[in-house]
Every structure is written in C-alpha cells, then in structure tokens.
Amino acid sequence: MIKRTLFFGNPAYLSTKNEQLVVNFPDDDEKEVTTPIEDLGYVVLEHPQITLTNGVLMKLVQNKTAVITCDKQHLPCSFLQPLVGHSEQTERMRYQLNASIPLKKQLWQQTVVAKIDNQANHFLLREKNALRLKRYAKGVKSGDLGNQEALAAAFYFQNLFAIDGFSRNQKGVAPNNLLNYGYAILRAVTARALVSSGLLPSVGIFHHNKYNAFCLADDVMEPYRPFVDMLVYDIVESGCNIEELNTNIKSELLMIPAMDVVIDGKRSPLMNAMSRTTSSLYECFEGSRRKILYPELNYY
C-alpha cells in the first residue's frame, strides 16, 4: 500500500479523533479536514505556527508515520521516530552492532557500485556519455579504498546540469536547493524504513560521526540519490524558476516516496523498495543473505 504524504505550509491545528487526523485552520474556523492515520506515511510540518496534540503525535508514531519538521529555511531538519520499530528490535540491533569490519566493507562496496551504476544509467537516460562512470563502478574495491564514490560524484555533478560552473554544494547555486530538499526527504524515508526493520539509523556501515544520528540512513540512501537527481533534472529542464523553493516545486519533491523504481526486476513505489532494501540489509547482518537489494535506475 502506498502511504500518503501530507505537507503543512500554513498555520494549522492537528488533533485526532476516531483514528483520524483532524486538521483545523485558524483562518477558517468552519473548515475541518480529516484523514485516516493508517493511510499516512509522512507528515511534513513547515510553518512555525502549527500546533499538535500529544494524542496525534502518539498515534502517528504508533502508525510508523514519519513526522518531519522544517527549519527557518523551509528545509527538513528533524525526524520523529518510534523507540520500538520492530518486535525483534533488540536481537536485530545486536546483529547490526556485532557486524564484522570485513562485512561492512563488502556492504559498502555493494552500495557504492549500486550508486555509481544508477548515476551512469541516469546519464544514459539523458543521452550523456557514461563510460567514465562505468569505469568508476568497476574500480570499486572492498570498503571503496580508492574513493571511487567521491570521484564519480564529482564527475557526475560537473556534467549533469547544463549550468556553467555548477558543483554539488549544500550552500551552492540552484538547483542545490532542490537537491538539498529532495535528499532530506529521502533521508527521512530511509530512516523510517530502517527503524521499521529494527535497525539503528545512527550506526553506519561506512559513515561514522558522533554528531550524526543517521549514519546508516546516509549509507543506505546513496543508491537512491540518482532518483532524486532525476526528478530535480526534470524540474530544471521544465524552465521554471528554481532560485526559490516554491509550493509547486515542493509538491513535486514530496512525491519522492511514491516514485516508481525497479527493484529485483519488479516496479515498486520508492518507499516500498526502501523497506525491501533495509530488510535485506538486516539479513546480511544476520548472515542469511550476502547482498543488499538495491533498485536499478532504468535508462530505456
């Protein structure tokens, strides 16, 4: 089932009644909107004048709905997650924490190869030369000791957009703002799936930073980034103003969880594919599987 994403960019009061999310707007006392909580996958809270009851927060978390709040720049900055995301959480975390260094290096190698392959396929989709990216993918060793991931990323972004001097930088020129927003949504999708699979989003297989609570999410989302790039590329090519994240652009980027991707030869919404990816990652930690299941970006 595809879960819905709700975005709140205006003042609102959120409460719950009869397992429904009840939304009231202070500017319109007569307008009340209700939505089944079980249908919700993501709730994005952007406006600072949004009030929520503890009851609605409790029910959203129990439903494993990702509640995402935004900062003054309107970018997602926090993610509310349940303390218990899986019935076997303790055992699953133990497998994750006991994973050997060689296993982590192999899993990171698989992740980097999948990411660069998807970047190359995105190039082919845009009728760009992908031979260099394909070479980078073939050169990835265990643990990516040669840092092929960084080399590929630099080449990829230098040649993706027809914008002179463009480079990937969080504070750089547009469409970096679109990429930042899209990646933040993707990070929340990944963290939600990891928690649902009983894993710790903070303990990565490659990323390790004591100030980062989502190291594993940052690892697992890497092969999914080109799908965000693909959506941003289409927005840029449409000719609309990308200097500012307006409501229309945000609406398109908030469709990321529902994007169609191909995983294991079958088409699936991205949020469902991510759950399969995180489930396969646990199986790798547990020892019943040797390869993480990642989506493939089709270029035909």
Residues 137 and 63 in one domain: no
Task: Note whether 76 and 99 are same-domain residues.
Answer: no
| Greater pLDDT, 225 or 76 | 225
Q: What is the mean pLDDT of residues 180-186?
A: 95
We report the CATH number of the domain holding residue 50 as 3.100.10.20
Separation CA 296–CA 119 (nearest Å): 10
pLDDT of residue 113: 98
Q: Which of 32, 60, 80 is the last residue of a domain?
A: 80
CATH number reported for the structural domain that contains residue 231 in this entry = 1.20.120.920
pLDDT for 185 beyond 70: yes
Report whether 223 contacts 120 (CB < 8 A).
no
Q: Is the pLDDT of residue 17 over 70?
A: yes
Same domain, 40 and 179: no
Is 222 labeled as ligand-binding? yes
β-pairing verdict for 20-25 and 76-80: unpaired
pLDDT band, very low/low/confident/very high, at 83 (cuts 50, 70, 90) = confident
pLDDT over 90 at 254, yes or no = yes
Rounded mean pLDDT, 175-181: 96
Q: Which two tokens stand for residue 156?
A: 């990829």
Question: Confidence band (pLDDT; 50, 70, 90) for 237?
Answer: very high
As for how many domains the chain has, the answer is: 2
Share of the chain above pLDDT 70, in %: 99
Task: Give the pLDDT of residue 26.
Answer: 87
- What is the chain's mean pLDDT, rounded? 94
* Residue 139 shares a structural domain with residue 285: yes
> Are residues 236 and 105 both part of a single domain?
yes
- The number of residues in the chain equals 300
pLDDT attached to residue 2: 79
Show which of 80, 115, 134 is a domain's final residue: 80
Pair 17, 166 in one domain? no
Burial (0-12, 13-18, 19+ Cβ within 10 Å), 244: exposed
Residue 32 is labelled as binding a ligand: no
| 283 annotated as ligand-binding | no
What does the pLDDT read at residue 271? 95
Asked if residue 102 and residue 209 are part of one domain, the reply reads yes
Q: How does residue 218 score in pLDDT terms, banded at 50, 70 and 90?
A: very high
- pTM value? 0.92
Give the number of other Cβ atoms within 10 Å of residue 247's Cβ: 10
pLDDT (tens digit, 9 = 90+) per residue, 60-77? 999 989 999 998 888 888
Task: Convert the pLDDT of each residue in 93-140 to its tens digit.
Answer: 999 999 999 999 999 999 999 999 999 999 999 999 999 999 999 999
Quickly list H helices, the chain: 54-62, 89-97, 101-125, 131-138, 148-160, 176-196, 215-220, 225-237, 247-253, 270-286
| Per-residue confidence (pLDDT) for residue 1, from 0 to 100 | 67
Tell whether 157 and 9 lie within a shared domain: no
Task: Check residues 76 and 199 and name the one with the higher pLDDT.
Answer: 199
| Mean local confidence (pLDDT), 12-30 | 90
Residue 151 lies in domain: 89-296
Distance between the two ends of the chain, CA-based, in angstroms? 27
Q: Tell me, yes or no, whether 222 and 290 share the same domain.
A: yes
Which of residues 29 and 231 earns the better pLDDT score? 231
